[in-house]
């Protein structure tokens, strides 16, 4: 099933977003809000009022949004444990590079665990930040297990997946993205990439606070949110691989799941071909967005025009007055 309506949607039950990270981020050197771009021609072709893109291809000097969560989680960890001298993390690429950049900023050592199918260009980018990279034989989830085992005295795990602690701080850090977006544009529908679900959880809390519906977007080959909605529990699935590296996740974060269950109205799964086509379409609008970041545009095209997506289209109320914000989470990897 390519589209799932969440039968347990109850956004009114969600807490307000924690926005403490916004003040922290504003004080970082080089901070400025990422732009929201309007795609008028795309909106006209889809029969909606506006299609907007939150362009995260350059965020605090990195080509993805991840440093928002990594920097705030590291700040919170250091407040509680000032003896920390090393940060560790598991990643498919962008989160690891963000943690490595934060460690360098704070003069800490860093070790990043990557699954063996992570692109070499992503591994090399992390190494250029000064971090030690450990390539784990296995999947992203195997890398997560290795990173968790590395935590100890003086060593903090900056994870965007797992139970309370750093994963919750990461969600709070991502609230900055949505606080910026609301100050920049009006919208009533948010399409956001899922992966382990931390960004989508931040989107859900924001959507509940401002009255915008949220739809999660994931690869057909890693549709763990769709499976979890269908089974009404976190489900671990097989992941044969996808070009959407940042979304190549077999299960949702434990800390994110309750918010996703209550605050995300539905899920759309897109193919690699559809994501690649959306990436090229965005490039025609002079937006250099990577595969994971382009997935929401692919999902919107399906939602607007494909008969198989009718139930979800009706649930979100997509129509001529709709103003849709797509979260383009990353720039080009250099391998696309």
pLDDT of 334 above 90: no
Q: Residue 336 above 60 pLDDT?
A: no
Domains 3-64+167-328 and 67-159 belong to one CATH topology: yes
Total-model pTM:
0.96
d(CA 241, CA 226): 17
The yes-or-no verdict on residue 63 having pLDDT over 70 is yes
Second-level CATH architecture of 3-64+167-328: 3-Layer(aba) Sandwich (3.40)
Query: Quick one: tokens of 4?
Result: 């799932």
Note the pLDDT of residue 260: 98
What angle (nearest 5°) sits at the alpha carbon of residue 246, between those of residues 288 and 292?
Answer: 35
* CA trace torsion 165, 219, 125, 102 (10° rounding): -20
The DSSP bridge partners found for residue 114 are 135
As a whole number, the mean pLDDT across the chain is 96
Residue-level pLDDT at 335: 47
DSSP H or E run through 262: helix 257-263
Cβ neighbours, 10 Å, residue 240 = 9
CATH architecture of 67-159: 3-Layer(aba) Sandwich (3.40)
| Mean per-residue pLDDT, 5-19 | 96
Amino acid 93: pLDDT: 78
Residue 322 phi/psi, 5-degree rounding, is -70, 140
Calpha distance 282→295 (Å, rounded): 11
Mean pLDDT calculated for residue range 106-117 = 96
What is the DSSP secondary structure assignment for residue 18, as one 8-state letter? Answer: P
DSSP state of 7: T
Percent of the chain with pLDDT over 70: 99
Taking Cα atoms as reference points, which of 240, 199, 236, 192 lies closest to residue 218? 192
pLDDT band at 320 (very low <50, low <70, confident <90, very high): very high
Is the confidence at residue 164, as pLDDT, over 90? no
Confidence of residue 114 (pLDDT cuts 50, 70, 90): very high
> What is the tens place of the pLDDT at every residue in 204-213?
999 999 999 9
- Listed by start position, the domains of the chain span 3-64+167-328, 67-159
pLDDT (tens digit, 9 = 90+) per residue, 233-255?
999 999 999 999 999 999 999 99
Supply the pLDDT for residue 204. Answer: 98
CA distances from 155 to 85, 86, 110, 137, 246 (A): 6, 5, 9, 23, 25
The span from the CA of 158 to the CA of 147, in Å, is 9
CB-facing half-sphere around the CA of 22: CA atoms within 13 A = 13
Q: Quick one: pLDDT at residue 196?
A: 96
- How many CB atoms neighbour CB 292 within 10 A? 30
Using alpha carbons, list the distances in angstroms from residue 121 to 97, 124, 128.
Answer: 11, 5, 11
Contacts of 37 (CB under 8 A, 6+ apart): 52, 53, 55, 285, 287
Q: How confident is the model at residue 1 (pLDDT cuts 50, 70, 90)?
A: confident
pLDDT at position 89 is 97
């Amino acid at each position: 099933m390519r589209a799932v309506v969440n039968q347990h949607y109850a956004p009114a039950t969600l807490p307000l977003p924690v926005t403490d990270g916004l003040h922290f981020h504003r004080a970082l050197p080089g901070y400025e809000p990422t732009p929201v771009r309007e795609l008028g021609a795309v909106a006209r072709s889809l029969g909606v009022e506006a299609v907007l893109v939150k362009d995260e291809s350059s965020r605090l000097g990195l080509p993805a949004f991840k440093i928002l969560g990594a920097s705030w989680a590291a700040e919170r960890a250091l407040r509680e444990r000032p003896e920390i001298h090393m940060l560790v993390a598991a990643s498919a690429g962008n989160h690891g590079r963000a943690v490595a950049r934060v460690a360098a900023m704070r003069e800490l050592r860093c070790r990043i665990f990557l699954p063996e199918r992570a692109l070499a260009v992503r591994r090399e980018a992390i190494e250029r930040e000064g971090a030690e990279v450990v390539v784990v034989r296995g999947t992203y989830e195997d890398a997560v297990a290795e990173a968790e085992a590395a935590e100890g005295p003086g060593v903090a795990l900056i994870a965007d997946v797992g139970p309370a602690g750093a994963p919750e701080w990461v969600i709070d850090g991502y609230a900055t993205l949505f606080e910026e977006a609301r100050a920049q544009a009006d919208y009533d529908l948010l399409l956001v990439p899922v992966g382990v679900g931390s960004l989508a959880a931040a989107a859900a809390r924001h959507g509940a606070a401002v009255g915008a519906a949220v739809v999660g977007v994931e690869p057909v080959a890693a549709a763990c949110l769709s499976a979890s909605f269908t089974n009404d529990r976190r489900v671990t699935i097989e992941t044969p691989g996808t070009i959407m590296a940042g979304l190549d996740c077999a299960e949702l974060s434990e800390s994110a799941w309750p918010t996703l269950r209550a605050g995300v109205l539905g899920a759309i799964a897109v193919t690699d071909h559809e994501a690649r086509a959306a990436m090229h379409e965005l490039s025609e609008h002079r937006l250099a967005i990577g595969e994971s970041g382009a997935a929401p545009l692919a999902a919107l095209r399906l939602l607007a025009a494909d008969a198989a997506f009718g139930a979800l289209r009706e649930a979100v109320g997509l129509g001529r007055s709709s103003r849709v914000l797509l979260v383009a989470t990353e720039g080009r990897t250099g391998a696309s």
